[in-house]
Amino acid sequence: MTALSTFLYRRPALYVTLLLIPPLLWFGTVYLGSLFALLAQSIYSIDEFTAKVVYEPTLATYKQVITQAANVDIILRTLSMAVAVTIACAAIALPIANYMVRYAAPRTRALFYVGVMLPMWMSYLVKVYAWRLILAKQGILSWLFDTLGLGAALEALLRVPGIGGPSLSASYLGMFIVFVYMWLPFMILPLAAALEKVPESLLQASADLGARPAQTFRTVTLPLALPGLAAGSVFTFSLTLGDYIIPSVVGAPGYFIGMMVYAQQGTAGNIPLAAAFSVVPIVLIMIYLTLAKRAGAFDAL
Amino acid sequence: MTAAIEFRDVSRVYGEVRAVDRVSLTVEAGEFFAMLGPSGSGKTTCLRLIAGFETPDSGSVLLNGRDVTDDPPYVRDVNTVFQDYALFPHMSVLENVAYGPRVRGQRKEDWQRRALEMLELVQLGHFAERRPSQLSGGQRQRVSLARALINQPRVLLLDEPLGALDLKLREEMQIELKNLQRRLGITFVFVTHDQGEALSMADRVAVFNHGRIEQLDTPRALYTRPATAFVARFVGSANVVAGELAQRLSGRAEPFAVRAENIRLRAPAAPVNGDTMSCIGDVADVQYHGAMSRWQVRLESGEVFAAAVPDTNSNDEFRVGARVRLEWARGDAVPLTAAESS
Amino acid sequence: MRYRRWGQPSIGARLAAYAGLAFMHLPVLVIILYAFTTADRTYEFPPPGLTLHWFEAAFARADIWAAMRLSLSVAAMATLLAILLGSLTALAMARSTFRGKESITVLLVLPIALPGIVTGIALLAAIKSARIDPGFWTIVAGHATFCIVIVYNNVVARLRRMPQSWIEASMDLGADGWQTFRRIVLPQSATALLAGGMLAFALSFDEIIVTLFTAGHDRTLPIWFFNELFRPRERPITNVVAVIVMVVTFIPILLAYRLTRRGSS
């Protein structure tokens, strides 16, 4: 055993290689292999008559995704939801994170951290389902609106196209609320980490020079917290872009990218189309990542 | 007699940086050897090369005449006391000390007994069942010493072991280590950046700078006869005189060094004594250090000299801003081979 | 004009923060509440009554047990693979530098960085191309990949925090690479390994996004749950299953969190 140890000790490269062979083998075949299969499928197409996959490389499927009006609708709809959710998460996360870091006593801050992480540890599906219950026609939210006498206002809101739907639990508004809820911890934590990095002395200097708390927040805290916001936004953006469970469970009739992918591979069996569609979020996320990197997101992660 | 440790033209390079630059040295058996230098000078890397945690890029390392350049640490007859003590937190003090014998497969009764003996040696017999986290810095240091010595190595390496201790403790440990080494008779190689420590404990000191040894000598020789400007400044503090001033004072162009305590202060008008060098300047600063004071004197040509002068009444005539003459014996000017500073 | 004392938040700020926190915990409380409701077809609030009847009914259902068994076995296998392959990777990546290390780091981030839908459809494409029958092993394949990453992250963080001097001291005292691993590295990284494993188990048990693509006709508990969402029958049983899923996934994650915190102090 010692001889083997010494043999490997003198050859660090061999040692590392041996360690990495099993995991890389797995990753290579299962993960990378699948990704290649995906890309391969996306350049095939489906014969409209036989509904069978035509194994000839073509860009027709991609063209279908980018040019057909219905598909473009889907992409834009998903994109705008992702952006809206990101903005909302940022807006809600800021006061929470700022309070946590600046004002809370150490024990309270620890409580807040655990309080933010706790929902993250809860089952994803259970949380979605819980919102379905809350948003249901006779559920808590309806009850709340009715008791407050705002029942009519809610009905009116649901009739607005692009926001509403048949009921709160089947509307864009409902979906939006659920998305924001789900990804909120992912925005709060990097933001809090970035805010913690802002030294108290900077805020004191700003006050010393005459700025009111709101001004200090706008001119000192916010710009310095931008990397944290950017990092959190990467999560909210990409998670919303690819999700299909939430639109299915709490969604209005309009399709989202994820739903499209799921639907196409199901009964339609149109794997090439599903594959091509799934490349869209990858591209969008890549673009977003480069933008976020410039805003310093990777330093905050 | 074969040297305990020998370096033959050893180099260790990290990218662009030559951490150890073609170093050759020998350490004799039973010596208390110190490697001294500022951080980044290569002394710690040399220690790690002896232990086997680094492999040289060129040259060879020999222990007791055998080439061990490619040998891993666990086969070398060398043990190390680490700067952060490196005690294993999930083992008791006794288990830590007994680690070497345990790893070699000794029976439980044997390694327990020997470990207790070693702990007694460092006066920590009662701490056997404690965890390292329950010990003070000084106690941890002694445990790591016991752990290293239980294997009865030929060479003990110590990597800045006293750095984390406070002054009083450090001085006590210096005496203890010296006594220990004398009693055990094994070779100690000690790395430090504290020149006072190196001078007081070692038989010979290697002064490192930029990956090279500038001078390897006994403490006294290093202090009284520094070879280079760096050694002159680093070991004790000397004034390094170079260029025009050197030419004017000594008549030769080569730089030389003068120890601060060899400089006397005189009134500018006082008669010049026999075989001395002198120059005139203004007192820039005085620091009182108890038995002696440290004077900073700025010459007209701009250089600042430091003089360490015993505190007597006759110095009261000189104040900050006063004109004063600096004087030292010609023999106290030590010629240097290089005037570049570190 | 009255000024707020320095360092004190405004009432609005405090309110907003606590309201936000409460908002984040509301749904979970709702789920627990609804598991006890007597209403069986609607989600009416306030619930007409409270009962334990649905818990009994749920435990009597064979299809729920079958789904539970599948989820547990998939999670166990995925965790096992994750612990093995994740630790090997962590050992290799903790300290050494070598060409291609950065590429491997990117590779290990992909399963988490790319949306689940991409992983799902990619695996499905591969399954179809290789003409494999979807089943237990295809589900495990999907889960194991991100489980490996989770274990890797936990273990590599611990290994990197371990002072290099411990390993050197061990070798210096005569232990070779294997002995050092067995006596020093392994005991010290045990908690990280355990925490990673528990995290992986919980996330595998809860996984739905990728599993819907790779499960074929098999149903894990989340898939059972997802299907039930579109059926109006016996809603409270679904709620009970939701509580079960929540408990089974929450506890390991909580334990993993406590373990990593204790290990790092």
Examine residue C3 and state whether it is found in any structural domain, yes or no.
no
Contact A112, A104 (CB under 8 A): yes
Residue with tokens 């010494």: A6
Domain-located, residue C134: yes
Q: Is the dihedral of CA B177, B178, B184, B187 positive or negative?
A: positive
Closest to A100 (Cα-Cα) out of A263, A282, A270, A228:
A228
Question: How much is the pLDDT for B342?
Answer: 39
Examine the pLDDT at B5 and tell me if it is beyond 90.
yes
Q: Which residues of B touch C95 (CB under 8 A)?
A: none
Half-sphere exposure of C247 (CA within 13 A, CB side): 7
C-alpha distances in angstroms, B124 versus B109, B143, B257? 19, 8, 47
Report pLDDT for C3: 66
Taking only the tens place, the pLDDT of each residue in C77-133 is: 999 999 999 999 999 999 888 888 888 888 888 888 888 899 999 999 898 888 888
**Residue range B257-262: average pLDDT?**
90
> Could you tell me the residue range of the domain that residue C109 belongs to?
61-264
Tell me how close the Cα of B45 comes to any Cα of chain C, in angstroms: 14
Q: Give percent of chain A with pLDDT exceeding 90.
A: 20
CA C26 → CA A118, A119, A127, A186, distances in Å?
12, 10, 10, 17
Query: CB–CB of B73 and C168 under 8 A?
Result: yes
Residue B66: how many CB atoms within 10 A of its CB?
13
Between the CA of residue A234 and those of A70, A82, A89, B77, C24, what are the distances in Å? 27, 10, 12, 54, 20
| Residues B110-158: tens digit of each pLDDT | 999 999 999 998 999 999 999 999 999 889 999 999 999 999 999 999 9
CA distances from C143 to B224, C136, C219 (A): 72, 11, 14
CB B226 within 8 A of CB B336: yes
Q: What is the pLDDT, as a whole number, of residue C2?
A: 63
Residues in chain A with CB shorter than 8 Å from the CB of B52 are none
Q: What is the mean pLDDT of residues A118-141?
A: 84
**CB-CB neighbors (< 8 A) of A5 in chain B:** 72
The total of structural domains in chain C comes to 1
* The pLDDT value given to residue C106: 84
CATH number at C201 reads: 1.10.3720.10
A282's enclosing H/E stretch is helix A271-294
User: Do the beta carbons of residue B283 and residue B319 sit within 8 Å?
Assistant: yes
> For residues A71 and B149, what is the distance between their CA atoms, to the nearest angstrom?
75
DSSP annotation of A246: H
**Over chain C, what is the mean pLDDT?**
86
Contact C172 B147 (CB under 8 A): no
Is pLDDT of B72 > 70?
A: yes
Q: For residue A203, what pLDDT band results from cuts at 50, 70 and 90?
A: confident
Q: Would you say residue C56 has pLDDT above 60?
A: yes
Given this model, what pLDDT does residue B338 score?
61
- C100-to-A13, A298, C105 alpha-carbon distances in Å: 12, 20, 9
* The predicted structure's pLDDT at residue C168: 95
List the structure tokens of B194: 């504290």
For residues A95-110, average pLDDT: 88
Q: Which residues does chain B have within 8 Å of residue C265's beta carbon, measured at their own beta carbons?
A: none
* Mean pLDDT (chain B, rounded): 90
In a domain, C238, yes or no: yes
Note the pLDDT of residue B253: 83
| pLDDT over 70, % of chain A | 97
Task: Quote the tokens at residue C136.
Answer: 């237990």
Mutation target to probe the A interface, by most A beta carbons within 10 A, among C124, C210, C223 is C124
Q: Do B86 and C171 touch (CB under 8 A)?
A: no
Query: What phi, psi does C57 have (nearest 5°)?
Result: -60, -40
Mutate to test the interface with B, among C168, C170, C172, C184 (most CBs of B within 10 A): C172
Question: Residue C19 falls within a domain, yes or no?
Answer: no
Q: Do residue A10 and residue B75 have CB atoms under 8 angstroms apart?
A: no
Contact A38, A32 (CB under 8 A): no
Name the residue facing A125 among C4, C104, C245 (closest C-beta).
C245
C170:B79 CB<8 A: no
- Which of these ranges, B160-169, C205-214, C226-235, has the smallest mean pLDDT? C226-235
Q: In sequence order, what are the residues at sequence separation of 6 or more whose Cβ sits closer than 8 angstroms to the Cβ of residue A290?
A: none
Which CA distances in Å does A251 have to A128, A171, C70, C156? Answer: 11, 5, 29, 40
Q: Do A10 and B70 touch (CB under 8 A)?
A: yes
Read off the pLDDT band of B341 (50, 70, 90): very low
Q: Is the pLDDT of residue C233 over 70?
A: no
- What's the pLDDT at C264? 52
Say what the pLDDT of residue A266 is. 77
Rounded Cα gap, residues C10 and A217, in angstroms: 13
Question: For a pLDDT cut of 70, what percent of chain C falls above it?
Answer: 92
Q: Which residue has the tokens 């290697």?
A: B206
How does pLDDT run across C16-30, given as a tens digit for each residue?
888 888 888 888 888
Q: Residue B339: is its pLDDT beyond 80?
A: no
Q: What is the pLDDT of residue B313?
A: 62
Give the tens place of pLDDT for each residue, B191-221: 999 999 999 999 999 999 999 999 999 999 9
C71 pLDDT tier (thresholds 50, 70, 90):
very high
Question: Which tokens is B210 given?
Answer: 């930029």
Chain A residues inside the 8 Å CB shell of C110: 31
CA–CA min distance C183, chain B (Å): 9
Sort out which chain A residues have CB atoms less than 8 A from C239's CB and list them. 133
Shortest distance between the Cα of A24 and any Cα of chain B, in A, equals: 29
Binding-face residues of A in 10-69 toward B, CB within 8 A: 10
Residue C154: inside a domain: yes
The encoded tokens of residue B16 equal 């662009």
Choosing among C93, C118, C220, which should be mutated to test the A contact, i.e. which has the most A CBs within 10 A? C118
Local confidence band at A273 (pLDDT 50, 70, 90 cut-offs): confident
Could B74 and C172 be called an inter-chain contact, meaning their C-beta atoms sit closer than 8 Å? yes
Q: pLDDT digits over A221-256, tens only?
A: 888 888 888 888 988 998 999 898 999 888 777 888
Computed over every residue of chain A, the mean pLDDT equals: 85
Q: How confident is the model at residue C58 (pLDDT cuts 50, 70, 90)?
A: confident
Residue C181 belongs to a domain: yes
Contacts of C187 in chain B (CB under 8 A): 90
Residue C242, domain member (yes or no): yes
CB contact under 8 Å between C184 and B88, yes or no, is yes
Q: Which residue on chain C is closest to B153 by alpha carbon?
A: C173
Side chain identity, residue A147: T
**Is A300's pLDDT higher than 60?**
no
* A280: closest chain C residue by CA: C118
Q: What is the pLDDT of residue A21?
A: 94
Per-residue HEC secondary structure of chain C comes to: CCCCCCCCCCHHHHHHHHHHHHHHHHHHHHHHHHCCECCCCCCCCCCCCECCHHHHHHHHCHHHHHHHHHHHHHHHHHHHHHHHHHHHHHHHHHCCCCCCHHHHHHHHHHHHHCCHHHHHHHHHHHHHHCCCCCCHHHHHHHHHHHHHHHHHHHHHHHHHHCCHHHHHHHHHCCCCHHHHHHHHHHHHHHHHHHHHHHHHHHHHHHCCCCHHHHCCCCCCHHHHHHHHCCCCCCHHHHHHHHHHHHHHHHHHHHHHHHHHHHHHC
Q: Is C161 on the interface with B (CB under 8 A)?
A: no
The residue that leads in pLDDT, C79 or A197, is C79
Q: Do C27 and A41 touch (CB under 8 A)?
A: no
3-state secondary structure of B298: strand
- The answer to the question of residue C148 being in a domain is yes
